[in-house]
Amino acid sequence: MVVGEIAEDKDIVVIGGGPGGYHAAIRAANLGRQVTLIEREDLGGTCLHKGCIPSKVFTHFAQEFKKTKHLKEMGMEFGEVKANLATLQQYKNKKITQLRTGIESLCKSNQVEIVKGSASFLSESRVGVEHGHEFSLFNFKEAIVATGGDFHYPGGVKFAADRILKEREIFQLGEIPGELIVYGADYISLEIASVFSILGSNVTLIFHEESAFDSSIKKELYRQFKKQKINVIRTAILQTASETDGLVRVKVKKDNGEIVSIEGTHFVTSGQVKPNLPELGLDRLPLNITERGYIETDPGGRTSIPHIWAIGDVTEGPSLAVKAIKQGKAAAEAIAGGQVEVDLQFVPTVVQMSPPIACAGLTEEEARGEGYSVTVSENPVRGNGYAQLTGEKDGFVKVVSDRDTDMILGIHMMGVGAAELVTSGMLGLEMAARDEDFRFPLYPHPSMNESILEAVEGLKGDAVHMPPRKKELAR
């Protein structure tokens, strides 16, 4: 390693080029600052290359594959439909390349300087960047830490190429598993189970804990598992997973102490995300770290060192790109003197399984626990005309409301288009909307949007396509 003796002066240094980092860099450049973005691999980070985009290529493929039966029913004629994962991998890689090139072009057009290498803090105002045998020194005025997180996995797992896999590796397969065992309770595990079940795998899904969904979502989720012939083992802790003679053998321990053994051709487990901090040299700085090992920040992303900021998976909160993106833009605006903050109260939960799930706000159980006088309404998707003609009749929209104020507390939905439809729910929650605010606008017809309208109308028994609510007896 050759160490340079001269340090270059920089304005803003962003460490990490994932969703949070590159959004922060471009936004800061928009605001007139000179930005240096340091990334040790490729721009786009884990989200683009290993996580969000690869997984959504597979979920989109599975959803389209599932539609072929309905299209034949409508009169579309084609031969036998097969899932070719080798071709899908080529498509996935092409899209990743296109998206990465787009990010690179955006950075270039915004005059964001890209530096390749691994950065570490040498002091409160200096970072070193190592790239192969080269080492550069940068003095900075402001720094944004956006190094993301990495997955850590349960013990007892002997990972093996093509058979015992981490959640990101399964989206690199060139063949459909015959018998797939999935261990996890997060959105990634649900998507994996749903995708490969649709594509022809016999799937066993092992939950190590109950999900945090609203009770109605849970009920429908298990109904969908049964419909898709996904075998579910609930609240069981993984003991071992190993491969012998082309077969995977998994042992789990259930709540009652029973040891259950399962065999399959493939096993995949979802890990727990922990922040990428060990190699950053933070021990050289008087930086406050939380008890859970995250960088402590204020609502704008500022750390205990006023000119150092942190965003994304290195901070407390859900490990989601949506959080990192919001925090990245907010940090850039705060550095430029703006009065900003990030409120994570209404972070949407989205699962792109089939049918998709999207939720925001309080569940019915949480609302009751917080002392609200709760009213709920569920509108089944099968009552929606557009759902009927498209053949997408599974799911529902549930609205949780406070009876005393009519304020909407939560929206939970399962069905085609849920990830897009939940946005109107998010806007309502952020604006403290009441049911009349959702009922007043005109909704396009026919469309899935009408399911939200009727769910809200159902709070007071006014929905046309739902059975009348039982009237409460006067006291």
264 domain residue, yes or no: yes
Q: Are strands 357-361 and 408-414 parallel, antiparallel or unpaired?
A: antiparallel
Residue 32 belongs to a domain with what CATH number?
3.50.50.60
469 domain residue, yes or no: no
> Are 93 and 17 members of one domain?
yes
Task: Reply yes or no on whether 208 is catalytic.
Answer: no
Q: What is the pLDDT of residue 470?
A: 64
381 neighbors 344 (Cβ within 8 angstroms): no
134 domain residue, yes or no: yes
> Are 325 and 242 members of one domain?
no
Peptide bond between residue 355 and the one before it cis (omega within 30 degrees of 0): yes
423 domain residue, yes or no: yes
276, burial (CB in 10 Å: exposed 0-12, middle 13-18, buried 19+):
buried
Q: How far apart are CA 417 and CA 456, in angstroms?
A: 18
Question: Which tokens sit at 130?
Answer: 């190592």
Return left, alpha or beta for 443; rule: phi > 0 is left, psi -120 to 50 is alpha, else beta: beta
Q: What is the pLDDT of residue 359?
A: 97
Q: What is the DSSP code string of 55-104?
A: HHHHHHHHHHHHHHHHHHHHT---S-----HHHHHHHHHHHHHHHHHHHH
> Are 12 and 135 members of one domain?
yes
Q: What is the pLDDT of residue 5?
A: 64
> Are 33 and 128 members of one domain?
yes
314 domain residue, yes or no: yes
> Are 97 and 225 members of one domain?
no
- Tell me the average confidence (pLDDT) per consecutive run of 10 residues in the chain, 475 residues long: 73 98 98 97 94 96 94 92 95 97 98 97 96 94 96 85 91 96 95 97 94 95 96 94 91 92 96 93 95 95 97 96 97 96 94 96 97 97 93 96 98 96 96 97 95 96 84 43
Q: What is the pLDDT of residue 474?
A: 38
112, burial (CB in 10 Å: exposed 0-12, middle 13-18, buried 19+):
buried
With a CB cutoff of 8 Å and minimum separation 6, the contacts of 261 are 249, 250, 251
Quote the distance between the C-alpha of residue 399 and its chain's center: 22
55 domain residue, yes or no: no
> Are 387 and 444 members of one domain?
yes
Residue 375 belongs to a domain with what CATH number?
3.30.390.30
181 domain residue, yes or no: yes
> Are 159 and 143 members of one domain?
no
Which residue in 133, 208, 266, 445 is the catalytic one? 445
> Are 7 and 105 members of one domain?
yes
Q: 14-35: b or e for each residue (b if 16 or more CB lie within 10 Å)?
A: bbbbbbbbbbbbbbbbeeebeb
> Are 193 and 215 members of one domain?
yes
> Are 360 and 450 members of one domain?
yes
φ/ψ of residue 392, rounded to 5: -105, 75
> Are 134 and 249 members of one domain?
no
Range of the domain at 13: 2-50+88-151+274-335
> Are 312 and 454 members of one domain?
no
Q: 69-104: b or e for each residue (b if 16 or more CB lie within 10 Å)?
A: eeeeeeeeeeeeeeeebeebbeebeeebeebbeebb
Quote the distance between the C-alpha of residue 403 and its chain's center: 32
205 domain residue, yes or no: yes
Q: How many structural domains compose the chain?
A: 3
